[in-house]
Structure 1
Amino acid sequence: MTVAALRLDLDPLALAQRYAADPRAWPVAPRFDAAERWYHRLAAADDHEVWLLTWLPGQGTDLHDHGGSAGAFQVFSGTLTEDTVSLSPSGPPRITARELGEGAGRRFGSRHIHRITNRSNRPAISIHAYAPALRSMTRYRIGASGLDVVTVERAGAQW
């Protein structure tokens, strides 16, 4: 089955894995940018989208959600660390780190808050899939009162 013939009822991790398994079908070759993470949308529809991302050592995201979309990512090469936020009604937010190496994947639900960073000394490439397609992303920071909203970005305006 080619990437173009994917069934839309696949979960986001299966979608990311399918794209990771066929890099010859990617419409662009991965690029690396010393100033910031590089990304390119590989596929888009109302009910899903797929992104190709590259990460040089030290590059990463801030804490964010996916605006109500569920998602997944698959590490194509290198190693990435995902920090997930757990909220507690009686205490401060808790951060849990998970390292994912080449071939590892991770799915997450629509309320997931995380950041991804390349903490290794090698470049990394990953495939990210979201269902439905991203409409917004909220960026957060951990402050004195807990998890604070920094900004809400909208598809078509900020990316």
Structure 2
Amino acid sequence: MSALFATEPDLLAVARGWAADPTRWPVPLRFDPTSRWYARLAADDDHEVWALSWLPGQGTDLHDHGGSSGAFLVASGVLTEQTVSGAGLRPHLLAAGTGRRFGPRHVHMVTNRHSEPAVSVHVYRPALRRMTRYHLEAGRLRVTEVAEAGVAW
């Protein structure tokens, strides 16, 4: 009976596959000294794949993925992901080769707090249409912006 249903790909496995072979990326990897660099590598009806580069000190605001589930894998370097835990943020160190899956309500911020550049591959299902940015104030998330695809990125 399970053969009747299409199985969804493991998004972390998809990220790992793209990270393993940057030669198949449709754009060359680059590093931007003024802001994080990112490029969409692939998109289909099921998911989309993005590559991001992070110089030391570059990072994101606290944000969600507009209802999309996803996964990301650190291809090189080290990134710190912070997630909301109680009234504060809890750091998770992610070295090259490690990653994580997340659901549609995941809120986090990611930063390169180390001295070497980092590269990561991100996969979202469905494709990103919006992202909400937050501030954490007195233990509560406060919306600061809702960014729309095609406008903000």
Answer yes or no: same fold by TM over 0.5: yes
Aligned to 1:3: none
Aligned to 1:115: 109
Aligned to 2:36: 37
The within-5 A match list for 1:62-81 is 62-81=61-80
Aligned to 1:9: 8
Amino acid at match of 1:56: L
* Alpha-carbon distance in structure 2 between the residues aligned to 1:97 and 1:83: 4
Deviation at 1:45, TM superposition (A): 2.3
Aligned length: 148
The within-5 A match list for 1:125-144 is 125-144=119-138
Aligned to 2:100: 106
* Alpha-carbon distance in structure 2 between the residues aligned to 1:62 and 1:80: 14
Q: What is the Cα-based RMSD across aligned positions, in Å?
A: 1.5
Q: Residues 143, 103 of structure 1: CA spacing in aligned structure 2 closer, same or farther, 3 A cutoff?
A: same
Query: TM-score by structure 1 length?
Result: 0.88
Tell me, yes or no, if the aligned pair for 2:88 and 2:136 is still in contact at 8 Å. no
Aligned to 2:141: 147
Amino acid at match of 2:40: R
* Alpha-carbon distance in structure 2 between the residues aligned to 1:8 and 1:136: 25
Aligned to 1:157: 151
* Alpha-carbon distance in structure 1 between the residues aligned to 2:10 and 2:143: 29
Structure 2 residue ranges without an equivalent (≥5) = 1-5
* Alpha-carbon distance in structure 1 between the residues aligned to 2:12 and 2:139: 34
* Alpha-carbon distance in structure 2 between the residues aligned to 1:107 and 1:82: 12
Runs of 4+ in 1 over 4 A off after TM superposition: none
Q: Taking every aligned residue pair, what percent have the same amino acid on both sides?
A: 59
Q: Residues 105, 145 of structure 1: CA spacing in aligned structure 2 closer, same or farther, 3 A cutoff?
A: closer
Aligned to 1:23: 22
Tell me, yes or no, if the aligned pair for 2:88 and 2:139 is still in contact at 8 Å. no
Structure 1 residue ranges without an equivalent (≥5) = 1-6
* Alpha-carbon distance in structure 1 between the residues aligned to 2:7 and 2:94: 26
* Alpha-carbon distance in structure 2 between the residues aligned to 1:40 and 1:68: 20
DSSP-derived class of the 2:142 partner: strand
Aligned to 1:51: 50
Q: Residues 8, 153 of structure 1: CA spacing in aligned structure 2 closer, same or farther, 3 A cutoff?
A: farther
Amino acid at match of 1:136: R
